[in-house]
Amino acid sequence: MKTVLFLAARSGLFPARLVQGIPPRFAGGTYKCREIRVEGLPEIRSRAVRSFAQGRGDLEPEAKPRIVPNAGPAPAAGPDPLSGPVAGSPAFEEALRRARSAARYEDPVLILGETGSGKTMIARILHESSARAAGPFVEVNCSAIPESMAEAELFGHLRGAFTGAEKNRAGKFRAAQGGTLFLDEIGDLSPETQAKLLKALEDKTVYPVGSDEPEPVDLRFLAATNRDLPELVKEGTFRRDLYERIKVVVLNLPPLRERRQDIRPLAARFLSEWNAKYGETRHLTEDALVLLESYSWPGNVRELRNAVTSAANTAAAEVLGPESLPEEIRRASRPMSGRGEAGTAVDVELPEEGINLKARLLQVEWEYVAAALRKADGNREAAARLLGMTGHAFRKALRERLSAFADEGWEEGM
């Protein structure tokens, strides 16, 4: 049925919108919808459809559906529903909302966030949702440019301007003409290059190395960094005037450890992409998912993608359990023997008759859960955050492991 609806909507036989429903377990506990865009995909036409669309209604019996390419250059494809941003956390949803709002205008945007948190994805959303979407999107990683080549890389150069300049080069500013220029890791630029960047942004012109003739540029400017720019300004390594120029709109992206409700849907998406690419049906076990949720993810979304890809590459079976995940993730989940959370020694007294360890651990878990519920006034999402858990994992624990305790109520006790 999904395929039929997709083909019918794309046929152009009647106006239609395709909307995908996202179950609560993949959308932070609430049911959400998002529109699936089909612009840029080949039109699906047949003689029968054309005949019907022209109002004749005489469906030709031998009509065979065929795919007719769009005339002229194909427009940019709409975003794949699997590749769009997963936004379950309020902080990330707010960043997306602000990005889509800012996309309508021309002011500079500064995107802040740790490495791998999705800064480039947000920059692309800003570009693709703007009036400049038909123009180029030019990304520059400032940390990868040698300081001696930064000016030529950004503003271009003339042939013979320096040793090795064998031909004219436009540079990134002019390459982004009519579109968007995105400078990633802008905090790594030298003060000298910062001064020339500021002048280019203010005058909307560039001077290629070796030329005295200004070249006008028309582009939208975006920048990103994982560094503390106000601190760099205080240290004198980043120009205050440039900082004020580029921070008209500031978007802060939360790290993955602060949006744990997105880990499961992100992992599912990455594995779906893998399965679609290689024609496989791999899937993660619940134990593996819990392990992913408990990891701190210093590399953020990029590290999660790599972890899922690594597991899919090396697993011996279609089912990916904890043993399939990278060693650093499995090692981080192991408790320190005889140590507490802060590394201090824990005094353990074991009675002569022994104990029921499973029952004791459940009791300890319930005591923490009940305390968190009391502190959060019964709000399960807030209680889950107090315990470093996702809402999904918290509800699952109440429903399965701790159901006997929960039936007695959490108001009494501690």
**If pLDDT is split at 50, 70 and 90, which confidence band does 58 have?**
very low
**Residue positions counted in the chain:** 414
Mean residue pLDDT of the chain comes to 81
Name residue 302's amino acid. Answer: R
**If pLDDT is split at 50, 70 and 90, which confidence band does 127 have?**
very high
Contact present, 184 and 140 (Cβ < 8 Å) = yes
Pairing of strands 220-225, 249-252: unpaired
- Residue 82: pLDDT over 60: no
**If pLDDT is split at 50, 70 and 90, which confidence band does 410 have?**
low
**Choice between 75 and 195, residue whose per-residue pLDDT is larger:** 195
- Residue 81: pLDDT over 90: no
What number is the average pLDDT over the span 205-219?
Answer: 90
**If pLDDT is split at 50, 70 and 90, which confidence band does 27 have?**
low
What number is the average pLDDT over the span 49-77?
Answer: 38
Cα atoms found within 13 Å of the Cα of residue 263, Cβ hemisphere only:
29
- Give CA 400 to chain center in angstroms: 32
Name residue 170's amino acid. Answer: A
258-288 pLDDT, tens digit each: 998 999 999 999 999 999 999 999 999 999 9
**If pLDDT is split at 50, 70 and 90, which confidence band does 411 have?**
low
pLDDT at 389: 84
* Structure-block tokens of residue 28: 């932070």
**Choice between 311 and 365, residue whose per-residue pLDDT is larger:** 311
pTM of the model: 0.61
327-353 pLDDT, tens digit each: 989 887 655 444 444 444 455 677 777
Task: Return the SS3 of 80.
Answer: coil
What number is the average pLDDT over the span 31-49?
Answer: 57
Cα torsion angle, 113, 118, 123, 125, sign: negative
pLDDT at 32: 64
- Residue 37: pLDDT over 50: yes
Cα separation, 114 vs 99, in Å, equals 17
* Structure-block tokens of residue 71: 């005339």
- Residue 56: pLDDT over 60: no
pLDDT at 407: 66
What number is the average pLDDT over the span 115-123?
Answer: 94
pLDDT at 343: 42
User: Which of 224-228, 304-308, 408-412 is predicted least confidently?
Assistant: 408-412
pLDDT at 211: 83
Q: Residues of the chain with pLDDT > 70: what percent?
A: 76
pLDDT at 70: 36
pLDDT at 345: 46
Cα-based distances in Å from 203 to 79, 125, 172, 215: 34, 26, 16, 10
**Choice between 109 and 170, residue whose per-residue pLDDT is larger:** 109
What number is the average pLDDT over the span 202-228?
Answer: 93
- Give CA 66 to chain center in angstroms: 36
Question: According to DSSP H, which parts of 27-170 are helical?
Answer: 47-53, 90-102, 119-128, 150-155
Of 370, 399, 396, 367, which is closest to residue 383 (Cα–Cα)? 370
- Residue 202: pLDDT over 50: yes
Most confident region among 185-194, 342-351, 354-363, 380-389 by mean pLDDT: 185-194
pLDDT at 12: 62
Cα separation, 193 vs 200, in Å, equals 11
Task: Return the SS3 of 83.
Answer: coil
The strand pairing partners of 205, in sequence order, are 216
